[in-house]
Amino acid sequence: MYTTNTIEAIYRQFRKLTKTKGGFPNKNSLLKLLYVGIKNASRKWTMPFPNIITAGDVF
């Protein structure tokens, strides 16, 4: 995850998704866009960090 604050990361993802859109015809279209965006972002947030040494590797 890019930030330590999960809520800020979610808000940043919402802004990223909606800033390029001019408007939404109804509430459901906005909710669908946000849902799909969070589903896609959650894959990135749960990826393991490469080259991280765990405590088990040290001892």
The pLDDT value recorded for residue 12 is 84
Going by pLDDT thresholds of 50, 70 and 90, the confidence category of residue 1 is very low
Higher pLDDT, 59 or 5: 5
The pLDDT value recorded for residue 59 is 59
pLDDT in tens, 2-55: 546 777 878 888 888 888 777 888 999 989 988 988 888 777 766 666 666 666
Q: Residue 3 CA to chain centroid, in angstroms?
A: 10
